[in-house]
A and B are shown apart, each in its own frame.
Chain A
């Protein structure tokens, strides 16, 4: 079967660093996506990993270990506007399988 798991909620302080973990199981893997979704809005693309290692894009970085079925999203220099849900999704043969999302609250 296939499944994907990430924490339900996390909190952090403005200016801090937070790591959101994601583990997955699947027989067919074509890459891993991270999306950001603000309350009441549509998800927007953050990052894509298909090879092991770290992909850095400004304040956001994403890491993948295919052998461990593990990814994380690292958010640095947190800002209040980073309060949102972060969705992990892996690509199988014909669609994306989304996790339930991690709701991140950033406090002053």
Chain B
């Protein structure tokens, strides 16, 4: 069982609010990732990190930002939420990126609804 956690699991907020989605893992993994996924649709990588103080933008343009101050923690922030941000956000981590070490363990996700 993967030890990766996300909070909150569900969030309904109004337009313009600032929100932070939390992601923590206890596996000591260096690599962490944020994906956005609409129901029944594909995963889109929006941010990833190689380790502490490392962050990279993913393949899908996103108005969110991330930080990696501690190995186990990779929060995602939306400065001003809009209805177009309504989606499921999945956090994942992996020991490495090469071969089997690239296996990603996923958190349970945060379902965000912006009214």
Residues of A within 8 A of B (CB): 30-31, 33, 39-45, 48, 50, 85, 87, 91, 93-96, 98-101, 103
Name the prevailing secondary structure of the B interface residues.
Answer: loop
Residues of B within 8 A of A (CB): 33, 39-43, 45, 48, 50, 88, 90, 97-100, 102-109
Instruction: Take A42-B106, A43-B106, A103-B40 as given contacts and tell me if A95 and B45 are in contact as well, using a CB distance cutoff of 8 Å.
Output: yes
Q: A39-B40, A41-B108, A43-B106 are in contact. List 18 more A-B contacts (CB 8 A).
A: A30-B97, A31-B99, A31-B100, A33-B102, A33-B103, A33-B104, A39-B39, A41-B109, A42-B90, A43-B104, A45-B104, A95-B45, A98-B42, A99-B42, A100-B42, A101-B42, A101-B43, A103-B40
Instruction: Take A42-B109, A95-B48 as given contacts and tell me if A30 and B102 are in contact as well, using a CB distance cutoff of 8 Å.
Output: yes
A48 near B103: Cβ-Cβ < 8 Å: yes
Name the prevailing secondary structure of the A interface residues.
Answer: loop
A93 to B101, CA, bound (A): 12
Instruction: Take A98-B43, A100-B42 as given contacts and tell me if A44 and B106 are in contact as well, using a CB distance cutoff of 8 Å.
Output: yes
Chain A residues lying within 8 Å of B45, measured Cβ to Cβ, are 95
B97 near A91: Cβ-Cβ < 8 Å: yes
